[in-house]
Amino acid sequence: MAVYTRLGAEEMDGIIAAFDVGTLTSAKGIAEGVSNSNWLIETQDTGGTSRRFILTIYESRTEVAELPFFLGLLDHLAAAGAPVPRTMHDGTGASHRLHRTPQGDKALALIEFLPGVSVSEPTPGQARAVGGALAQIHLAAADFPGTRANSLALPQWQQLLNDCGREGLESIDPDLARLVERELALLAANWPAGLPSGVIHADLFPDNVLMLGDTVTGLIDFYFACTDLLAYDVMVTHAAWCFTPDGTQFLPELSQALIEGYCAVRPLGDAERAALPVLARGAALRFLATRAYDWLNTPADALVTPKDPMAFARRLEFYADPANAGVFAGGILA
Ligand SMILES: Nc1ncnc2c1ncn2[C@@H]1O[C@H](COP(=O)(O)OP(=O)(O)O)[C@@H](O)[C@H]1O
Ligand SMILES: N[C@@H](CCOP(=O)(O)O)C(=O)O
């Protein structure tokens, strides 16, 4: 359940009144999501037209100082025609406001509601469309003036996994510490430099994509967006979409469709293609690191159920296996 902040009816009325979006007619807490509190808001304007929005209250994992980057990026991408929600601005032109709560001031934003659902068993047609939409935001963000360092890059993976400790990792799986040590060393020695970089989504999992049939209607949850290698973002998306959720099965048709869909909009250069195997291992390790840390550090009575780190350890083993080198070679990228 992702509603961590309680809001009374009058309080909600006051929040919505600050934005020129009509009168509040309903507000429903949204169960999906783990990081922030979200509500589906409905309003009616003086002509009787109904409108829908998402109200987000940012909880502790999102830095308020970074909101101008995240929300400015949404406005920039939406203006360029990418399928991302616009932000509503209040009477002063601000895209986020501070709201007083018993736990202190919290930032909030009102965001355009987009139709669509998150698919749980994507088809190749849907993977192709997601690849295309990812390339579209990479191109559209090229003239976005904001930058943000990736706060979950190799040094932070090292730190998180170090904090887990050998015993902690081995309590998850007896072979996990060995896998992590091997991969951290390999990535530190081989992480590519000089590839095209720009603003990336960095977390484009199926639950962050809204779709109607084979059409992407919304890319959401840009709160890990940052400046990094574009091809790394392709591999994050590959790791998220091209396996069964538990990571036991690679789905080659989805892989081919995702990469073809991306390349149809933004072709990968030779150096990027050559780097895909190592970037894929990095992408798998990134989610293994945060999941392992959360697995070991989430209190038993927390509202959120930690996600299985082994699902990404299995992806990592897949990408590291020389027998699978063909996934990013020849045929699939032809
Ligand atoms: N712009 C939007 N349009 C429609 N639904 C949205 C939008 N933004 C968020 N949602 C809904 O809210 C849920 C949680 O949002 P999300 O940003 O993923 O939260 P969290 O950051 O807590 O993971 C999503 O799964 C989706 O159902
Ligand atoms: N996609 C990550 C978790 C990030 O959570 P989100 O709800 O903010 O997208 C994972 O699967 O580990």
Q: What is the ipTM of this complex?
A: 0.95
pLDDT > 90 in the chain, percent: 87
Q: For the whole prediction, is pTM greater than 0.90?
A: yes
Q: Which of the 8 DSSP states describes residue 243?
A: B
Q: Which of the 8 DSSP states describes residue 149?
A: B
Is 60 exceeded by the pLDDT of residue 316? yes
Nearest CA to ligand 2 atom 4: 203
The number of CA neighbours under 13 Å toward the Cβ of 153 is 15
Q: How far apart are CA 334 and CA 256, in angstroms?
A: 10
CB 192 within 8 A of CB 278: yes
Q: How far apart are CA 214 and CA 131, in angstroms?
A: 12
Backbone angles phi, psi at 146, to 5 degrees: -75, 155
Cα-to-centroid distance, 87 and ligand 1 (Å)? 13
Amino acid identity of residue 230, one-letter, is L
Amino acid identity of residue 57, one-letter, is I
Two tokens at 148?
């943000």
The number of CA neighbours under 13 Å toward the Cβ of 223 is 18
CB 58 within 8 A of CB 36: yes
Report which ligand 1 atom has the smallest distance to the Cα of 35: 22
Q: How far apart are CA 26 and CA 14, in angstroms?
A: 13
Ligand 2 binding pocket includes 286 (Cβ within 6 Å): no
The number of CA neighbours under 13 Å toward the Cβ of 147 is 6
pLDDT > 70 in the chain, percent: 98
Is 60 exceeded by the pLDDT of residue 332? no
Ligand 2 binding pocket includes 22 (Cβ within 6 Å): no
Nearest to 13 by CA among 40, 38, 51, 41: 41
Thinking of the domain 124-333, which architecture would CATH place it in? Answer: Alpha-Beta Complex (3.90)
Cα-to-centroid distance, 307 and ligand 2 (Å)? 9
Two tokens at 149?
């360092």
Q: What is the pLDDT of residue 62?
A: 86
CB 221 within 8 A of CB 236: no
**Sign of the torsion formed by the C-alpha atoms of 120, 236, 284 and 267:** positive
Nearest to 283 by CA among 244, 319, 321: 319
Cα-to-centroid distance, 43 and ligand 1 (Å)? 18
Substitution candidate for ligand 2 out of 34, 38, 205 with most atoms within 8 A of CB? 205
- The CATH class that applies to domain 9-112 reads alpha beta
Cα-to-centroid distance, 35 and ligand 1 (Å)? 10
Report which ligand 1 atom has the smallest distance to the Cα of 37: 22
The ligand whose atoms approach the alpha carbon of 2 most closely is 1
Q: What is the pLDDT of residue 334?
A: 39
Q: What is the pLDDT of residue 328?
A: 87
Question: Residue 2's pLDDT band (boundaries 50, 70, 90)?
Answer: low
Is 80 exceeded by the pLDDT of residue 133? yes
Q: Which residues contact 88 (CB under 8 A, 6 or more apart)?
A: 19, 21, 53, 95, 109, 110, 111, 112
Two tokens at 310?
């082994």
Q: What is the pLDDT of residue 190?
A: 98
Task: Provide mean pLDDT across the span 323-327.
Answer: 90
Ligand 1 binding pocket includes 35 (Cβ within 6 Å): yes
Nearest CA to ligand 1 atom 27: 32
Two tokens at 227?
């400046």
Ligand 2 binding pocket includes 34 (Cβ within 6 Å): yes
Question: Residue 1's pLDDT band (boundaries 50, 70, 90)?
Answer: very low
CB 99 within 8 A of CB 110: no
Q: What is the pLDDT of residue 131?
A: 98
Q: Which residues contact 239 (CB under 8 A, 6 or more apart)?
A: 280, 283, 284, 287, 312, 315, 319
Mean pLDDT over the full length of the chain: 94
Task: Provide mean pLDDT across the span 284-305.
Answer: 90
Nearest CA to ligand 2 atom 10: 287
Report which ligand 2 atom has the smallest distance to the Cα of 205: 1
The ligand whose atoms approach the alpha carbon of 203 most closely is 2
Substitution candidate for ligand 1 out of 35, 106, 119, 220 with most atoms within 8 A of CB? 220
Cα-to-centroid distance, 25 and ligand 2 (Å)? 31
Domain boundaries, the chain: 9-112, 124-333
Report which ligand 1 atom has the smallest distance to the Cα of 207: 25
- What pairing do the DSSP bridges indicate for beta strands 23-29 and 197-200? unpaired
Q: How far apart are CA 110 and CA 88, in angstroms?
A: 5
Nearest to 96 by CA among 75, 82, 79, 115: 75
Q: How far apart are CA 288 and CA 309, in angstroms?
A: 5
Ligand 1 binding pocket includes 4 (Cβ within 6 Å): no
pLDDT tens digits for 35-87? 789 999 999 999 999 999 999 999 877 899 999 999 999 999 999 999 999 99
Cα-to-centroid distance, 80 and ligand 2 (Å)? 26
Question: Residue 330's pLDDT band (boundaries 50, 70, 90)?
Answer: low
The ligand whose atoms approach the alpha carbon of 88 most closely is 1
